[in-house]
Amino acid sequence: MSVLENLRQTFRRDQVFDFVNKQDYSQVDTSHGLILYVEDVSVSFDGFKAINELNFYIEVGELRCMIGPNGAGKTTMMDIITGKTSPDKGSVWFGQNINLLKMTEPEIAQAGVGRKFQKPTVFEHHNIFENLEMAMAGDKSVWSTFRARLSSEQHDRITSVMETIGLSDCAKQRAGALSHGQKQWLEIGMLLMQNPKLLLVDEPVAGMTHQEMDKTGELLTSLAGEHSVVVVEHDMDFVRSIAKKVSVLHQGSILAEGSMDEVQNNQRVIEVYLGE
Ligand SMILES: Nc1ncnc2c1ncn2[C@@H]1O[C@H](COP(=O)(O)OP(=O)(O)OP(=O)(O)O)[C@@H](O)[C@H]1O
Ligand SMILES: [Mg+2]
C-alpha cells in the first residue's frame, strides 16, 4: 500500500473536515435567467483604455464564444470577472445578488466562477484521479486532502468527472505523461470538481491537434446547460464548430453580437479583422 493510500485511510474526509464537503452555491439568484451581468465597465492601464464601456450578459446554461483581435481586451475582461483586475468603473454581478467587484479572487472562485488559463497547471507528479481529488478540496492545502479518506459520494464524483473529460481509461496515469490536449481536459476536470456555475475558458485549443480540438468542442458543448460557459478563442473553425452566440470584442467594447454567420458578415467586424 502506498503512503498516499495509508494517509487516505487514516481519516474519513467527509466526517473529519466539514470544510472540504461540497460548497453550497445555491445562494446565486438567477431567477431572471442571467448568470453574469457586465455593465459599463472600463479599465485603463497607464492611460490606455483596455476595457471601454463594456456591456454584456450571459444567460444561465449558455455557451458564449468571445472573439476579437489581439489586444481587444478579452483576457482583461476575464481578469475583471475573476477579481484579478479591478475596473475603474462599471459593475459586474454574478446572478442578481452577488457583486463580484466587492469580492476577492478566492471568494469569487468559491462563489462558483471557474477559470481556465491557457497553460495547463496540473500536478505533474500525481495521477489523474489524484489531481481531481486535490481539486475537490479547492484552495485548501494539498496535505489536508491526503489525510482524509474519500467518501463513496466523493469517489463517484471523481469517476463521473473523469468520464466527462474522457480520461476514465487512464485514471492512474501520471499527469506529467499526458498529451497537451489531455492536460487541458484534466484541468477542465479540476475546475469541474469545484462545481462552478460559470466557466471562463481562455484559448482552450491553442496548440491542439485537430482531433483534440474536436474532442474539446464536444466537451465544452456538453458542459453548457449545467454550467454557463464563456470561451475566448482565436481559431475560427473551432468557434464555428461550437458557437451559438458570438460576441466580438474590439478596443475593449462589444463590436457585434449574434450567430457566427451574423458576426462574420457584419461590415464593422470584417473591417476590424481585415485591418489587423
Ligand atoms: N496589467 C496590464 N498592464 C498594462 N497593460 C495591460 C495589462 N493587461 C493588459 N494590458 C493591455 O491591455 C490590452 C488588452 O489586453 P488583453 O490581454 O486583454 O487582450 P486580448 O484580447 O486577450 O488579446 P490576445 O488575443 O492577444 O490574448 C493590451 O493592449 C494589453 O497590452
Ligand atoms: Mg488574451
Is residue 247 within 8 Å of residue 217, measured between CB atoms? no
Q: Which of 38, 74, 76 is the best mutation target for the ligand 1 pocket, counting ligand atoms within 8 Å of the beta carbon and taking the most? A: 76
**Which of 42, 54, 74, 77 is the pocket-test mutation for ligand 1 (most atoms within 8 Å of CB)?**
74
The span from the CA of 229 to the CA of 231, in Å, is 6
Tens digit of each residue's pLDDT (9 = 90 or more) over 67-124: 999 999 999 999 999 999 999 999 999 999 999 999 999 999 999 999 997 777 899 9
Residue entry with cell 482531433: 211
Domain that holds residue 262: 3-274
Fill in the DSSP letter of residue 34: E
Question: Closest-lying ligand to the alpha carbon of 253?
Answer: 1
Per-position b or e across 114-144, b if 16+ CB within 10 A of its CB = bbbeeebebbeebbbbbbbbbbbbeeeeeee
Number of separate domains in the chain: 1
Per-residue pLDDT reduced to its tens digit, 227-263: 999 999 999 999 999 999 999 999 999 999 999 999 9
The protein residue with its alpha carbon nearest to ligand 1, atom 9, reads 76
**CATH number of the domain encompassing residue 194:** 3.40.50.300
pTM, to two decimals: 0.87
